[in-house]
Chain A
């Protein structure tokens, strides 16, 4: 498989959030600000790359009937590592993401890539696939976070664009996440159609 294509498919064509609509729970829950979205996306990217790497390495050592528990243990290990490292070195991000970090374990994107890609492909392709999908997820979360932060509190990455008092509060709350996501998906679909 063409490795470049393998890498870039995660951004637009198979973007986990905008096209496949996977991982909606962290997508809607953590994108109140751009920095939270980016942090969540990068944490998930790390877990995706590492779990894809390990799963493709051990895929022949795991009997088919116990592959799911084995994959989940691998994923949970990396999530716990991310959690502890983040708690030690990025305490403010750790606090704002809170429960969503341990929930990466059950993020369907991570298990989905392990099951659908890494358990069938070689190490190199699997790592590139994990990086592509992970960065695509981070990209989507950052875009959504920026839009919500801008409309809701007049800031992007904590840089004030317009006074906070004019912000539409709903975009910081959960309903705003659905509305913003819906419009972004519409735009992405329009762009994809044009390219086709």
Chain B
């Protein structure tokens, strides 16, 4: 078959044909992979929840809080024990101050303000340096760097360079600061969520704008 000449009509028809077939193919693949992608995400969430929380019977409704110093809301997953008492809450928190920007973490905080566990969900930190967050901050053999079991009651958790008590990852202080920033943000939002809860008596979803003000006031 001879090659089509570059007339306007030929160009139009062939480009239209190529893009039409391409979009049809993509539509099919999108449909086929939609369910597996959603499943993978849900499984990841479930595993993260299980790894940061102590044993629990059921999860409460998700609470969304908008922190004063951020644009994205933070999700709180309260977990309850067999007698309906709160065992801990998992908070999905984030920070933008990582060495490569965005870091998303899930952290479990019990009613006494102690960290029950954490998991880094998303990050783009330097491999071999900042990417060690998960192992470094949960190393039970090195109490200086382990954050699990630490309490927020004495104020924000900080790295030792800033006068705090946590040893930063060697050669990755910026990442360590960002990680703790995400932890502290989780705690602030959790506090503000419970405060609003107590004041208004509402137990469900918290209006984003109100909680914004609350976080701001609780930080002053």
B36 at the interface (CB under 8 A from A): yes
Closest to B126 in A: A173
The answer on a CB contact under 8 Å between A63 and B14 is: yes
Q: How large is the interface on B (under 10, 10 to 19, 20 to 34, 35 or more residues)?
A: 20 to 34
Q: How far is the CB of A63 from chain B (nearest CB, A)?
A: 4
C-alpha spacing A88/B7, complex, angstroms: 42
A66-80 interface with B by 8 A CB criterion? 66, 69-70, 73-74, 76-77, 80
The answer on a CB contact under 8 Å between B128 and A88 is: no
The answer on a CB contact under 8 Å between B128 and A63 is: no
| Chain B residues whose C-beta falls within 8 Å of the C-beta of A23 in the assembled complex | none
C-alpha spacing A79/B141, complex, angstroms: 44
The answer on a CB contact under 8 Å between B10 and A63 is: yes
With an 8 Å Cβ cutoff, the count of chain A residues facing the other chain is 33
A32-B4 contact given A69-B15, A84-B37, A88-B33, CB 8 Å threshold:
no
- B1-39 vs A: 1/0 string, CB under 8 Å? 111111100110011011100100110011001001100
Closest to B122 in A: A95
B127 at the interface (CB under 8 A from A): yes
B156 at the interface (CB under 8 A from A): no
Task: Give which listed residue, B7, B18, B26, contacts A62 with CB less than 8 A.
Answer: B18
C-alpha spacing A87/B7, complex, angstroms: 41
- A129-146 vs B: 1/0 string, CB under 8 Å? 000000000000000000
B40 at the interface (CB under 8 A from A): yes
Closest to B121 in A: A95
Q: How far is the CB of B38 from chain A (nearest CB, A)?
A: 9
Number of contacts between A and B (CB, 8 Å)? 81
A91 at the interface (CB under 8 A from B): yes
The answer on a CB contact under 8 Å between B40 and A88 is: yes
The answer on a CB contact under 8 Å between B15 and A66 is: yes
The answer on a CB contact under 8 Å between A62 and B33 is: no
C-alpha spacing A69/B18, complex, angstroms: 10
Q: Which A residues lie at the B interface, using CB under 8 A? A: 32-33, 58-66, 69-70, 73-74, 76-77, 80-81, 84-85, 87-89, 91, 95, 98, 152-153, 167, 169, 172-173
Extra inter-chain contacts (20) besides given A63-B3, A77-B26, CB under 8 Å: A60-B1, A60-B4, A61-B4, A63-B4, A64-B6, A66-B14, A70-B14, A70-B18, A73-B18, A73-B19, A74-B18, A76-B22, A77-B25, A81-B26, A81-B29, A88-B37, A89-B36, A91-B44, A167-B128, A172-B128
Q: Could you show 10 A-B contacts with beta carbons less than 8 Å apart?
A: A61-B4, A61-B17, A64-B3, A66-B11, A73-B22, A77-B22, A84-B29, A91-B44, A152-B128, A169-B171
Q: Which B residues lie at the A interface, using CB under 8 A? A: 1-7, 10-11, 14-15, 17-19, 22, 25-26, 29-30, 33, 36-37, 40, 44, 122, 124, 126-129, 171
